[in-house]
Structure 1
Amino acid sequence: MNAPTRPVLRWHGGKWLLAPWIIEHFPAHRIYVEPFGGAASVLLRKPRAYAEVYNDLDGDVVNLFRVLQDPLGGGELMRRLELTPFARAEFELGWDATDDQVERARRLIIRAFMGFGSNAHSDMGRGHKTTGFRANSSRSGTTPAHDWS
């Protein structure tokens, strides 16, 4: 497996940028546990341990990692994401439920990358609201659409 060059998800509390510093301060270990896994930025950037445990309360996040573990599902997810335009219509569709596990993973990634605030939570029933579409093009550097591509 190649070392990841960017996070799987833009996630509230994600530790992608902090991961190297965190890993540098780890004691030697054989077992690593991520009980509140989120985007798993530390887990994915650290050297493999004998046993690694990932968990998260959000079933959509766990589903994403299940899809990524499957060579066929992971390949299909990548294909679908490559064909997904950075568009408000895709972002809004991302909140709709689906029984297709690969599509469910795709929609989570869309919500996380195309929404601002990274609140991609799937549990709308507990008061979570959809976030706005990241259409900001006035900032310096790249635009959200460029980041998506």
Structure 2
Amino acid sequence: MAAQDRSNPDEGDVYLIFILESVPIETINEVLEKSHNETGEYLLRLADNGSIADRETPLGTETPVSPDWSSPYIGKDIRQVATIVEHVPDPLNRQHFAVLDLAVYRQTRKVMIYKIVGEEPQGIPCTAEEVSLHLLGYDRGTWAESWRRWREKGLSL
């Protein structure tokens, strides 16, 4: 299991990935697989009502995702998602989450990683392969610096 920052109860081991628009299941599977292949763990949990409420499953969503799956969050915005994330149960992380933005992914092969800082969600693109590494702590501890580099220089994770 992932190394959790036990000094901060909001730093859970499993990270939600939200789908806020229509995204082909093949693309969702591709992102989940790339993330899994880098660490060998399923750390991204596809956000839906059942997956958020599930306290028994310690890991993320395994592929393949059912072809009938659909996101209940289509049409929501990042602030609405951040409010949901702040109130999720363990073992879900209440500070960091991911969003699969189809246009960003098709153009750059990157997923948006967010951290809730104060009440403001801050997002930085990250390659699908490195999402789990980042969320495991590879770069999570340097968020402020990464955020500054993204805003000032356009450097993604």
The two structures have a TM-score, normalised by structure 1, of: 0.31
| Structure with higher helix content | 1
Bigger Rg, structure 1 or 2: 1
Larger fraction in strand: 2
* TM-score of the aligned structures, taking structure 2 as reference length: 0.30
